[in-house]
Structure 1
Amino acid sequence: MTLTSWVPVPAESDFPVQNLPYGVFEPAGGAARVGVAIGEHVLDLAAALGDEVFARPSLNAFMAQGRRRWQEVRARITELLTDERHRPSAEPALHRLADVRLLMPFEVADYVDFYSSEHHAANIGRMFRPDSEPLMPNWKHLPVGYHGRAGTVVPSGTPIVRPNGQRKPPQATAPGFGPSQRLDIEAEVGFVVGTGSELGEPVALADFAEHVFGVCLVNDWSARDIQAWEYVPLGPFLGKSFATSVSPWIVPLDALEAARVAPPERDHELLGYLRDRADWGLDLTMRVRLNGHQVSEPPFATMYWTAAQQLAHMTVNGASLRTGDLYASGTVSGPEPGQRGSFMELSWGGKEPLELPGGGTRSFLEDGDEVTITATAPGADGVRIGFGEVTGRIEPAR
């Protein structure tokens, strides 16, 4: 029997009752608070559940309560929205999404970005090391990543100012300074930590769902020319730290049970702490649009390293987790040209510019360009689970 809600949910909605993603919204004339999306509405949880933990402008306090509490609240919300008997008490707590302002859903504690798509890593390797193996020797032994800047993680819709920095074209003898000329995106999936861990205590693969609250969409904006000059020997810095955008909705792991798949086949044995015991690959289909025109459809199921393996590796040295930690998958790219998750790949480093409607072309982002990333996944009862969108428009350098 298919679960349905008494709240009207359009057939193509991202937010059926099987989803119930969490976000923070500001109603007209009201204070910011936590809600869940259902169809074209958001349910005010403080009003519907009578719990002050939701009368806050952040999910952090609720996330810190742990998985048992997450599951209890999800079951209660589902009951409220599917049992007609609860309609008289729950309906007044509904707000139309069109009438509210969506805000940053959680306070970011730390931010880590991985590099877990074999297709993306191999494409970058072929571009920059054409006479060598496309993957570095460590790539299939551990999830490669770097620590980013939590303070510049911003909500969807925040304008992205073109960054300035040092740039050194290959033919130049010395670097110059100015606005990035190779501004790019990275279409990624983010994982939000709900409960922390003790310093010195690694988090095992099997404990992934005890710590990770949910999943969002991420655009890790990248200045490729700044990055290329600075990243040797210590890796990404100013070419990445100016902005990372996240979607306003956090889809709970429990909504994604039907989307779980096995990761790609390994061609060698992994070390014990990374050896898969459960399938935590996710069958997400992402879509990247430039100024409303779809340019790519990256498949997340092809990612070599899963979110559970990333979490295990991130903490294997004893690094602790905190509520609000965000870690992202790295650019999602598939095996086909139309499945690449960055303009660096889509234009092959600028050598093969994308052709756009109306006769224009694009290698990297220009001022005024708007990029929107969306994603869907199979859900329970055969429905479609959506993640909303993460959007950003490029503004001129300052």
Structure 2
Amino acid sequence: MSTFVDIPVGSDFPLQNLPYGVFSTANKVNRRIGVAIGEKILDLSVVATFYPEYVQNALRADVLNELMELGYDAWNDVRRITKSLLTTGSDLHQNTELQKIALINQSDAQMHLPAKIGDYTDFYSSIHHATNVGVMFRGKENALMPNWKWLPVGYHGRASSVVVSGTPINRPLGQTQPVDGADPVFGPCRLFDFELEMAFFIGGPANKLGERVTTKEAAKRVFGFVLMNDWSARDVQKWEYVPLGPFTAKNVGTSISPWVVTVAALEPFAVPNFPQDPKPFPYLQHDEVFNFDINLIVDIKPEKGTQTTVSQSNYKYLYWTALQQIAHHSVTGCNLNPGDLLASGTISGETSDSYGSMLELSWKGTRTISLGGNETRKFLQDGDEVIIRGFCNGEYRIGFGECRGKVLPTIPFEN
């Protein structure tokens, strides 16, 4: 199949991708759902009548939650018809007047959060990241906590501070303990960090409180994936996390890419699940391959300097799959709702150039990272912009666009 829409060489958004996003334009400020194709956005509200009646209201909505809730079969119907509309010779191809209002330049669009996020959970599913952090703080003999290979470790995050790519993040204030054993001090975070992550949106009708979602059912509950940067105040986190875990060090902001790439688009890039030993409990076991070869790149662009790649990792390094994350999250009967966001945790690879955070890249501040010229870093400075990209490469490229965020100075504290 070929499309009549021009697709630049190396585009993240060929006909095989068709990710969803929510956008607005200067001349039409209401938010609506679109699909990325090349450098265009197909406005689904304009072409909604081409789809079955049962999905039309969802395509005219201003967030993706209603489409997410319709479930797996509806997603397949929408994807199939969208691909048909964008194919050479389609009704849309032959209607040039309709094209003028249905196809929007991405450069003219402002992107928004794709869903109303009711709840956000962050996991800790990269064995290389967990091992690195454990070695730093506990030594090689106790790198992984005893429970780590038995369950997908996670914590409940703050949904209200999840923001779309391009939203600046102010350096947070907080309590820190600069010297072990001394009294804490209050002031701007000194060890500000990024975390290279991916996340997925829950779809399908919500399970009722008390009902579990099995690993077999979970594949039809994954609507699609986004890139994520879970900004972290490392010095604040060190002081506050005992005994209940991350709190204000993690609620300063969580950036996600605006385009939601579906599982259907990623399936051609599936790779074997990460080997697991010991064998998980039966409720966490599944034979289905649900791991993907997604290249992940992190660049840092200083305010007055050169954009430099500091990490090249891959989604395939995750020990626990999305299906296992869903099954464990709901094993107690926790109800998962359409639009809930579940994140991977920092994704690090096996080598030092594939670590997914400054904490690891600088090895707790003992190493210096070169950004070209005379610029070096151990942690993020004000004015730094972090740019995360993700893509699959094969006969064609499936990309996620970018997840960007710039560090702004601390907002002064006033009594």
Task: Report the TM range for the smaller structure's normalisation.
Answer: over 0.9
What's the secondary structure of 1:23's corresponding residue? Answer: strand
How far has the Cα of 1:83 moved from its partner? 3.7
Counterparts of 1:378 and 1:73 in 2: how far apart (Å)? 25
Per the normalisation by structure 2, the TM-score is: 0.93
C-alpha contact (below 8 Å) 2:161/2:252 kept by paired residues: yes
In the alignment, what sits opposite 2:44? 45
Aligned to 1:251: 261
How do 1:109-128 residues align onto structure 2 when only pairs under 5 Å count? 109-128=118-137
* Structure-1 residue corresponding to 2:79: 74
State whether structure 2 residue 378 is matched by structure 1 residue 363: yes
Asked if 1:397 is matched to 2:397, the reply is no
Cα deviations across residues 3-31 of structure 1 (Å, max 9, x unaligned)? 32111101200000000000011023112
Conserved in 1, the CA contact under 8 Å of 2:216 and 2:286? no
The letter of the residue matching 1:354 is I
Question: Is residue 32–residue 55 contact of structure 1 (8 Å, CA) maintained in 2?
Answer: no
- C-alpha change, 1:94 and 1:280, in structure 2 (3 Å) is same
| Residues 183 and 223 in structure 1, CA contact (< 8 A), matched pair in contact too | yes
Cα distance between partner residues in 2 of 1:297 and 1:283: 13
- Structure 1 partner of 2:114: 105
Match of 1:8 in 2: 6
Give matches, 1:1-398, under 5 Å.
Answer: 3-30=1-28, 31-50=30-49, 51-86=56-91, 87-89=93-95, 91-92=99-100, 93-130=102-139, 132-171=141-180, 173-195=182-204, 196-291=206-301, 292-378=307-393, 382-398=395-411
CA contact (8 A) 1:22 1:36 kept: yes
Report the AA paired with residue 297 of structure 1: Q
CA RMSD for the aligned pairs? 1.2
Instruction: Tell me the TM-score normalized by structure 1.
Output: 0.97
Q: Which digits, 9 at most, give the CA deviation of each residue in 1:73-117, with x for residues without a partner?
A: 100000000141321345231011111111111110100000000
Give the whole-Å Cα distance in 1 for the aligned partners of 2:90 and 2:145: 59
User: What's the offset of the Cα at 1:67?
Assistant: 1.0
SS of equivalent residue, structure 1 residue 327: strand
What's the secondary structure of 1:297's corresponding residue?
Answer: strand
Query: After alignment, is 145-154 or 354-363 more displaced?
Result: 354-363
Task: Find runs of 4+ consecutive structure 1 residues off by over 6 angstroms.
Answer: none
Gaps of 5+ in 1: none
Q: What whole-Å deviation, never above 9, does each CA across 1:45-88 have from its counterpart, x for those lacking one?
A: 01112334323321111111111111101000000001413213
Range with bigger deviation, 48-57 or 138-147 = 48-57
Number of positions where the alignment pairs a residue of Structure 1 with one of Structure 2 = 394
Shift of 1:162: 0.7
Question: Which residue identity lines up with residue 102 of structure 1 in the other structure?
Answer: M
Secondary structure of 2:250's counterpart equals helix
C-alpha deviation, 1:172, in angstroms: 5.2
Looking at structure 2, the residues matched to 278 and 194 of structure 1 have their Cα atoms a distance apart, in angstroms, of 19
Distance 1:224 1:85 in 2: 53
Gaps in structure 2 of 5+ consecutive residues: 50-55, 302-306
Identity rate, percent: 46
Equivalent residue number for residue 52 of structure 2: none
Supply the AA of the counterpart residue of 2:20. Answer: Y
Write the distance in 2 (CA, Å) between the matches of 1:100 and 1:183.
Answer: 31
